[in-house]
Structure formats: structure tokens, C-alpha cells
Amino acid sequence: MRFVVVTGMSGSGKTTAMKMLEDAGFYCVDNLPLLLVEKFVEMLAEPESEFNKIALGLDVRADIHFEEASDILKSIKESGIPVEILFLDSDDQILINRYKETRRVHPLAPDGHVEDGVQKERQILEEIRKNADYVLDTTNLLTRELKLELDRIFVKNEAYNSLMITVMSFGFKYGIPTDADLVLDVRFLPNPYYIDELRAKTGNDKEIQDYVMSFPEANEFLDKLTDMLEFLIPNYVKEGKNRLVIAIGCTGGKHRSVTLANALYNRLKDRGNYGIKLEHKDIDKKRG
């Protein structure tokens, strides 16, 4: 039997994740009171049970004793039933924005500020997050990207570390991305912008890629960056980091940075048991 507990911050995508697991063949039960969890698991673990893949959604909003969830899940594990905990998280400001956009009241702050509810919920969930098998940060994840990560873990059964890497291109003229962990500057490379027949194209076009990568410095930069990341990533995983944003910038975020971000993404995407996505932040902005 595969038993997955889906929990996390309100507004981080738990409902969406449960629907995706249901589509993947899991028998899904949401918001079961904690007092019934052990009895529910015992019933489904019976030899005659027809269910072999179960996803249980636990929501801090559904139970005033949610702090006891970690102890209950630990007890279930000790009884011999393997429990996998999937924790969905997101930046506080993103969670606050999602509540404000939908005009919803945070369940833990019905008479106060959304910010207070988010902080209170994070404190309650601290222990279960620490013990989670998988932590998915949905701050920058599209729905299809969340599905891809869930498929990797629960359908393809790939080994998985809870690290989501975003390889991002950007333009320095628009500012450094505020969520960047590593910022790389490729403005030392010749700029295709000053070649008339290349100006309108982007680093997603072969002509730009061929031009940028024709310079030995571009390939040497890519080799050295890849080598550094192959050292850093396992150490980030070991320290429990869940999100890594690698931002590669050029002047306008359209040519050089896009080319190098694409190349780095292609090198990293099949090398490790982590999630990875590619984003071109400023590629569609017009250069003034």
C-alpha cells in the first residue's frame, strides 16, 4: 500500500495536488479529522482492502488539534505502515496575494489580517514540514509544472529531493529578480543586439544561440558554471534547501542570457533527482 499525506500552507495548491493524485489513480480523502486518521489507515490496510494507493489531505483549517498530526503520523509509521508526507509551501507574500486576489478570509485570522493568519499557520505546521518526505514550493510553479513534479514522485517513482531549481534569464536594465539566489552576469559576451539581422530574434532562436555559443568564452563560462552547480546542489539538498533560483542576466534579457539559460537548463535537467524549470523573465519586453 502507498499512503501519501498531502498537507501544507493554505493557498499553496493542496486541493490541486489532490485532484492530480486522484487522476493518477489514488483514492483520495480530504480534510479527515485527526482523531479518525489512525482508524482510517487501519481499515485501508486490511488484507481484503481494494485500495493500494491512498492520498489523505490534512488541512490545518479542519482541526484545532493539528499540532498533534506529527505524532499521529509517527505512530502510524511505527505500526509498519509506510507514510509519505507531501508538504506544499509558498512564499508568505504570494500566499497573502492569493488570499487578497480571491477576497478570501484566512481561516486562522477571521477577524484580523491575512498576514497574521499565514504566520500562525506556519508556526502550527513547522513540525510536520520538518518531517515531510517531499516539500514542493509552488511560489513560481505553473499548474502543469506541479503536475510534472507529482508525476515524477508518485507515478514514475523517481528518486526525488525536495529541491526545485529555476533557471531564469533576465535583463539588468529591468532590475535583478528579487527571488534570485545566484546571479550570473553574461554581459561580458558580444551582444547580438548590435547586429541588424539578429536584433529582432531571441536566445530561443538558433541564429542567436549559434552566435553566442560561437565564442569560446561562452562555452568556458557554461562549463565552469555547471561544475560549480554540481558541487553546490547536493550541498543545498543536504542542508534542506527547497528552492534555488539561478538568474542569468544580460542587458535586455533577450539574447545572451536566454541562450545561456537554455544551455544550462539542458545540461541540468537530466543530471539529478530534483525538480527544474526554465523561465525567461524579460524576453518579451521591448528594449528602449
**Rounded to an integer, what distance in angstroms lies between the CA atom of residue 269 and that of residue 253?**
22
For the segment 7-31, the average pLDDT, to the nearest whole number, is 92
Residue 16 has pLDDT above 90, yes or no: yes
Residue 64 has pLDDT above 70, yes or no: no
> What is the helix (H) or strand (E) element at residue 171, kind and residue range?
strand 164-171
What confidence tier does 74 reach under pLDDT thresholds 50, 70, 90?
A: confident
**pLDDT at position 172, please?**
96
**pLDDT at position 62, please?**
61
- Check: CB of residue 154 under 8 Å from CB of residue 17: no
Q: Under 8 Å CB-to-CB from 197, ≥6 apart: which residues? A: 207
**pLDDT at position 117, please?**
84
Residue 39 has pLDDT above 90, yes or no: no
Show the domains of the chain with their CATH numbers: 2-154 (3.40.50.300), 164-280 (no CATH)
**Rounded to an integer, what distance in angstroms lies between the CA atom of residue 154 and that of residue 195?**
48
For the segment 202-211, the average pLDDT, to the nearest whole number, is 97
Residue 288 has pLDDT above 60, yes or no: no
> 121-125 long-range CB contacts below 8 Å, 24 or more apart?
121/9, 121/10, 121/60, 122/9, 122/92, 124/60, 124/66, 124/67, 125/7, 125/8, 125/9, 125/60, 125/66, 125/87
**pLDDT at position 55, please?**
93
Q: What's the whole-number average pLDDT of the chain?
A: 88
pTM of this structure: 0.73
Q: Under 8 Å CB-to-CB from 210, ≥6 apart: which residues? A: none
Percent of the chain with pLDDT over 90: 50
pLDDT, greater one: 207 or 96 = 207
**Rounded to an integer, what distance in angstroms lies between the CA atom of residue 278 and that of residue 17?**
21
For the segment 272-276, the average pLDDT, to the nearest whole number, is 82
Percent of the chain with pLDDT over 70: 95
What confidence tier does 88 reach under pLDDT thresholds 50, 70, 90?
A: very high
**pLDDT at position 182, please?**
97
Cell digits for 24?
A: 493518477
